[in-house]
Amino acid sequence: SSRAEFDLPEYSVRRRYQDFDWLRNKLEESQPTHLIPPLPEKFVVKGVVDRFSEEFVETRRKALDKFLKRITDHPVLSFNEHFNVFLTAKDLNAYKKQGITLLTRVGESVKHVTSGYKLRSRPLEFAAIGEYLDTFALKLGTIDRIAQRIIKEEIEYLVELREYGPVYSTWSALEGELAEPLEGVSACIGNCSTALEELTDDMTEDFLPVLREYILYADSMKSVLKKRDQVQAEYEAKLEAVALRKEDRPKVPTDVEKCQDRMECFNADLKADMERWQNNKRQDFRQLLMGMADKNIQYYEKCLMAWESIIPLLQEKQENKWQVH
């Protein structure tokens, strides 16, 4: 890093998942007006997924890397003290124990917003964001289910292929002149099976987790929207109360001013973050979907190569090589 707050240009530290979880909580606490990127799923059903398998660890690593990159790219979050400590401290646990709650000015004030106030109506732009997030999460959920279904069907197809290929081998053992061609077809199907397995592994490891992350992202964003609503509700309620009390007019009491300030900051932060999020989302999905297309193209290219290479073998004229069976 070339930033001033960091003492050294480079750091290397070891962190566990729970450290990341701690960081995220701290960020939510200290920067409640901002959209905090999601972490990969916390709980893993024991017995279903092997928490120590290479694939699982690698998938998680990529997700955690993405998490840190998103924070790094954020103009406000990247300056967060907790984040700094996370990246540099040799002994993070000691720091955690200190229970330091570094709240920004806004954070401090938002923390104390009472949740008793009900918002009459969301301003149009935030209502639109809310609706968008709802539909977005819904569509992503559908895509997740479709992707899972495709992987399931592909695996079932793979099971059959793995039985299909060897039958050609069995047949080949009965034949003379046809032995090589049949064996060739068997090997070919074997290669296609391997290619298919690679495709399903890739989709499981690279495609599904990113989808799920975005669904979690949308969920956490919706809660931030709700918090914003609360801030606005409090402001409006207090403003109304003041309007009814004729003594303080025309001067608006500092209390109400603070509320207004809070609300306007929140709105500004949120709007800026939404724009940034939309942009990143577009790039992320562009990359994700292009990646999906790519993997399918690679699968078909591998199969194509296998079948094309066998054509000359099939067309070969056997010069009485074998006894005609």
Partner 1 sequence: MTENNFWLKKMEISVSEAEKRTVRNAMNMQETYTAYLIETRSVEHTDGQSVLTDSLWRRYSEFELLRNYLLVYYPHIVVPPLPEKRAEFVWHKLSADNMDPDFVERRRIGLENFLLRVASHPILCRDKIFYLFLTQEGNWKETVNETGFQLKADSRLKALNATFRVKNPDKRFTDLKHYSDELQSVISHLLRVRARVADRLYGVYKVHGNYGRVFSEWSAIEKEMGDGLQSAGHHMDVYASSIDDILEDEEHYADQLKEYLFYAEALRAVCRKHELMQYDLEMAAQDLASKKQQCEELATGTVRTFSLKGMTTKLFGQETPEQREARIKVLEEQINEGEQQLKSKNLEGREFVKNAWADIERFKEQKNRDLKEALISYAVMQISMCKKGIQVWTNAKECFSKM
Residues that bind partner 1 (CB under 8 A): 132, 135-136, 139, 142-143, 146, 149-150, 153-154, 156-157, 159-161, 163-164, 167-168, 170-171, 174, 177-178, 181-182, 185, 188, 282, 285-286, 289-290, 293-294, 296-297, 299-301, 303-304, 307-308, 310-311, 314-315, 324-325
- Cα 97 to chain centroid distance, Å, stands at 30
- Considering the complex, what minimum distance in angstroms separates the CB of residue 229 from partner 1? 21
Comparison of 185 and 270: residue with beta carbon closer to partner 1? 185
Q: Identify the three-state secondary structure at position 33.
A: coil
Q: How far is the CB of 250 from partner 1 (least distance, A)?
A: 43
Measured from the CB atom, is 249 or 325 closer to partner 1?
Answer: 325
- 49 in helix, strand or coil? strand
Cβ closest to partner 1, residue 79 vs residue 307: 307
As measured in angstroms, the least distance from the Cβ of 176 to partner 1 is 8
Answer yes or no: are the C-beta atoms of 295 and 146 closer than 8 Å: no
Give the shortest CB-65-to-partner 1 separation in angstroms: 23
- CA separation, residue 16 to residues 28, 89, 119 (Å): 19, 13, 40
In the chain, the N- to C-terminal Cα span, in Å, equals: 74
Angle at which helix 254-315 crosses helix 179-202, to 10 degrees, equals 180
CB of residue 133 to partner 1, shortest distance in Å: 10
CB of 131 to partner 1, least distance (A): 8
Nearer to partner 1, 117 or 132 (CB): 132
Choice between 102 and 304, CB closer to partner 1: 304
Residue-level length of the chain:
325
- Please report, as a single letter, which amino acid is at residue 196: L
Smallest gap from residue 161 Cβ to partner 1 (A): 6
- φ and ψ at residue 49, rounded to 5 degrees: -120, 140
- Cα 75 from Cα 45, distance rounded (Å): 36
Strand partners, 46: 49
Give the helix, strand, coil percentages of the chain, each rounded to 5: 75, 0, 25
**Beta pairing partners, 49:** 46
Structure tokens at 125: 């732009």
Q: Which is nearer to partner 1, 241 or 311 (CB)?
A: 311
Measured from the CB atom, the residue of 86 and 168 that comes closer to partner 1 is: 168
